[in-house]
Amino acid sequence: MYPLKFEPVLKQTLWGGDKIIPFKHLNEDLPNVGESWEVSAVEGSESVVANGACKGMTLPEMVRKYKDELVGEANYARFGDKFPLLIKFIDAKQDLSIQVHPGDELARKRHNSFGKNEMWYVVSAEPGAKLISGFSQEITPKEYKERVADGTFAEVLQACAVKPGDVFYVPAGRVHGIGAGVFVAEIQQTSDITYRIFDYNRRDKDGKLRELHVSQAVDAINYEDVEDDFRTLYEPVPNEPVELVACPYFTTSVYDMTEEITCDYSELDSFVVFICVEGACRLLDDAKNEVSLRAGETVLFPATTQEVTILPETHVKLLETYV
């Protein structure tokens, strides 16, 4: 086992922009790339190993072959052959739909799937760009249906102006949307289930309105999900990990570094993923495997890894996540 890099799975979307390809230093000429799936075991969009002896294998094949060596004993007991996280970059040139995700119980019952709890780390944001996260006031299921029908649903949503480095945890049940001009790294459960509530009356390339899931969303929404600002507040500390989100589905920290640091994973029973959002570095594990990482790249260290030394080339900013 060694640190794994993957081929990105690029997704062209109605609302996608032009930032992902240059951010990831790709030699591609695709318009409207809205998402790059960095680490994915979603059926039909599986990540493929890009380096080393396992090059060409998909992430699900890797889990089936290496089991707890790759994901950790507790994770393998909990999830079996299903890799539990999906990691993406998202570039919203236009507003994404207003949507909600089901939790584990509803997703299992309806779709035989994990639920979708997720987080966003804002990599960049144009002036005035916003995210929608939660309600500005409590509403009832009846009021939800009425407001969607008469076009006033947006009036009860909480819109937040954002800047680079902002963090939002988005639990299943929270109504949300990424606004135009926002570029995020997203960490979530392995699920592609989204209930679209409102899509700005947009039409697809065939001139058709996109499908909405207004009735399916009724049972998924947390109607009491009200707060002035759902942003996760944290104090950046140079050259030390700062925890951003710790939930049953993942733990994520940010490293803002100019100096070498060694991370001890000897007590951690999980794979570890590093997502580079700024700068460049080298990472060296206890087996003397070395991998370079620069902005837009992601690497997965297997659960057998005992420690990782991060060697910044200049200034580097990384997200670290594990289960």
d(C-alpha 85, C-alpha 60), whole Å: 12
d(C-alpha 158, C-alpha 101), whole Å: 17
Q: Which two tokens stand for residue 20?
A: 């992902």
Give Cβ neighbours of residue 72 (< 8 Å, ≥ 6 apart). 268, 269, 270, 271, 303, 323
Q: Could you confirm whether 196 is annotated as catalytic? A: yes
Catalytic residue among 78, 108, 147, 196: 196
d(C-alpha 59, C-alpha 72), whole Å: 15
Check: CB of residue 151 under 8 Å from CB of residue 199.
no
What's the half-sphere exposure (Cβ side, CA atoms, 13 Å) at 50? 14
The angle at the Cα of 87, spanning 84 to 93, to the nearest 5 degrees, equals 145
Active site members: 196
